[in-house]
Chains A and B, each alone.
Chain A
Amino acid sequence: MNMTNGLAIEAIGLTKKFGDVSAVNDLSFTVNRGEMFAFVGPDGAGKTTTIRMLCGILAPDAGSGTLLGFDIKTQSEEVKKHIGYLSQKFSLYTDLSIDENIEFFARIHNVENFAKKREELLEFTRLKEFRTRLADKLSGGMKQKLALACTLIHKPEIIFLDEPTTGVDPVTRRDFWKLLAELMKDGTTIFLTTPYLDEAERCTRVALLNKGKILASDTPAAVRAMLGQKILEVICSSVREAFRVAGSDAEMRAFFTDIQLFGERIDFIFTKGTAAEAEALITKKFSEHGFTSGEVRAKASSLENVFIQLMQSDDAQAAEAAAKAEVETEGAAKTETKSKTKERAK
């Protein structure tokens, strides 16, 4: 085994384009051994594409990467021996039983004595009593756990989990996280993607991903603190109306860096001034417009707040850049037409 550094995963400038769309854009990050690292982002952020490049399913257009020190492009044979990959679809052989599925994945990984490990995994995933059942006849949660067992049979050092809890019921989801916690205790490096920010909070480090780029990457606590934000959470009457008014009020917009609506509450985010000043402003404005603000409390910013804000500013920048580019091409087009007219005039 290659022990030259303590890194489980290192990605340098990974890039992948599908046609004109760049799914992953110059992505660099590292994951230490034994870490649980999460990619968080909306659909289409490039999470799956990144995993597929790291696992050697997809060749990157540019950039490089290593897993356990092995190059993902030139040493994929070595890489494959040490990784497990759980795809979003929980890919199993539906016409094989639980036992047969695990046995098959053991054999193609050249695991000689898999019987003991299989018992352990069946115990671990609590699938023992269903072991002769066809995979096709399992519930979604059981399929997910069986897929995990198949991924773990060859004792991989790194496992890649692509949205492992999407479409899984809450109970199974909790069980699954318990399993992951145990795996981490055993020293397995876990790289997962998730659209759920509460899941990301449980990881040792997270990377917020949008449109193929990392917006922020650190421990959940550090990411939460990165914007130096303070938040007042307000629960009030006719919350949507209040949110609309707050958003269009100049004084409020000057004070707060962002105002976000979450169901029945509004989060007022600010960086300057004190909480007392903020509360006074909110109470004043709300009474002016006839809203009664109920509960007002200070709270730490969540990953969700940070992510939404980062995403919005990222999208705004992108829109600005696009608009600028459009103006430029338009300008270019105009000059072109002009020169053509001139030519014609001649």
Chain B
Amino acid sequence: MQAILALIRKQFIEIRTSAQLRSLTLIAPLIQFIIFGFAGNLDVKEINLAVLDDDQSPESRELVQDFTASYFKVIKYISQSREADALLADGEAKMVLVIPPDFSKQVLAKRTAAVQALIDGADANSASIASGYASATVAAYSQKRLADASSRQSVILKVASVNVETRVWYNPDLKSKRFFIPGILGLLILITTVIASSTSIVKEREVGTLEQLVVSPVKPYQIIIGKLAPFTITASITLMNLLILAALVFGVSMRGNLLLFFLLTLVYLITILGLGLFISTISKTQQQASFTTSFFVLPPFLFLSGYSFPVENMPAWLQPVSYLIPLRYYLTIIRGIFLKGIGLEELWPSLVALLICGIVIFTASFLRFKKNLE
């Protein structure tokens, strides 16, 4: 026990003294969190709109008015359709609204009038959102005309036939942040913990202090506990700070039970520390350890865990791979507790899966570590 305490104490002194370790575990995640927290926003607002109004009637102007009243900003009125191409091509406009010359005539004649929306589809997500907004705006316009007409003449007026698409993206600003912030949190904790733990172990091997520990009466399991317990603590402190930042800077606060959140996070931490330990056993230098982390750990965690793309959208053959990624379960847990305020009744399958991941990774890494020592 005394040996473990000595190792833990030593590790804390190293974290305190080494600027690199200190900023990696305690400071960098906070700064990154603020930056990435602001970046992580999929809400589409103020879509740049160019208008080609060949009708120039009160009716067409009213439609444009309705567009600016919703999510669009008119940046330019154009008179030639080929100008539309240029505006979309260089990204100046995200959408061009084309109103044909007979728009008002059709509307007043109570016939179906067509307007055209040209949308820059390079970013499929924003394009579909813009298209949704456009449909909704046109639908609202039709409703209004319909209401006007019926109040005046009690005759049903047929205006543009419109498809209304309802999307989850119509949320107010907060909602997409709410979705992203827990993920960023889980990812930042992953990166800093894996890099700090793996490089710190590799450093001991590089410098030769690990060899000194081997010739001392300290046992391998004591080395591991002494090495990883301090990083569990720094990660918990960082997590606490991140929660405070999430509430203060982004107004995203925890809905569920804080204690449960920390307990489940501990399971996640042990899993990723096991990963750090594993990387340390396959790396000869500290650079190699960071490289392995950023090249072989980070991409699958980013892209296959459901952090960037929903797992349900992946092809069937790829989905099973995501079961191997601990972040997948942690995302379910953290989003569940954070956003929905749910508890263990709903989250236990993820907890069990995370535990299995943790036990497997940790055992394998420990055995490898022990074998390397001998």
Contact = CB atoms under 8 A, between A and B. Distances in A.
Interface stretch (B31-39, B90-98, B204-212): B204-212
Interface in A74-122: 77, 80-81, 83, 85, 87, 89-96, 100, 104-105, 107-110
B217 A110 contact: yes
Contacts of B18: 95
A134 interface: yes
Nearest to A78: B217
Contacts of A93: 10, 14, 207, 209
Nearest to A55: B215
Q: In this complex, which of B3, B21, B212, B218 has the most chain A Cβ atoms within 10 angstroms of its Cβ?
A: B212
Given A104-B6, A104-B10, A107-B3, A92 B215 contact: no
Taking each of B2, B5, B213, B217, which has the highest tally of chain A beta carbons within 10 Å of its own beta carbon? B217
A107 B6 contact: yes
Contacts of B21: 95
A59 interface: yes
Contacts of B13: 95-96, 100
A3 interface: no
B374 interface: yes
B208 A87 contact: yes
Nearest to B374: A59
Interface residues of A, number: 27
B109 interface: no
A85 B14 CA distance: 23
Interface in B181-236: 207-209, 211-218
A87 B218 CA distance: 17
B217 A95 contact: no
B7 interface: yes
A56 interface: yes
A81 B212 contact: no
A108 B213 CA distance: 8
Interface string B333-374: 000000000000000000000000000000000000000001
Given A93-B10, A100-B13, A134-B17, A109 B217 contact: yes
Interface string B4-24: 011101100110011001000
A94 B204 CA distance: 10
B212 A105 contact: yes
Contacts of A21: none
Given A96-B17, A104-B6, A108-B3, A91 B208 contact: yes
A57 interface: yes
Nearest to B4: A108
Contacts of B2: 107, 110
A159 to B, nearest CB: 11
A109 B216 contact: yes
Contacts of B208: 87, 89-91
Nearest to B212: A91
A92 B209 contact: yes
B17 A87 contact: no
Candidate in B21, B207, B209 with the most chain A CB atoms within 10 angstroms: B209
Nearest to A52: B211
B8 to A, nearest CB: 11
B14 A96 contact: yes
Nearest to A92: B209
Contacts of B218: 108
A57 B211 contact: yes
A150 B10 CA distance: 14
A107 B3 CA distance: 6
A131 to B, nearest CB: 15
A95 B6 contact: no
Interface string B22-59: 00000000000000000000000000000000000000
A109 to B, nearest CB: 6
A68 to B, nearest CB: 15
B6 A80 contact: no
B14 A95 contact: yes
B185 to A, nearest CB: 28
B214 to A, nearest CB: 5
B14 A80 contact: no
A339 B2 CA distance: 71
Given A96-B13, A104-B9, 16 more contacts: A56-B215, A77-B217, A85-B211, A85-B212, A89-B208, A90-B208, A91-B212, A92-B209, A93-B209, A95-B14, A96-B14, A107-B2, A107-B5, A107-B9, A109-B217, A110-B3
9 contacts: A80-B215, A87-B208, A93-B209, A94-B207, A95-B14, A100-B13, A107-B3, A107-B6, A150-B212
Interface of B: 2-3, 5-7, 9-10, 13-14, 17-18, 21, 207-209, 211-218, 374
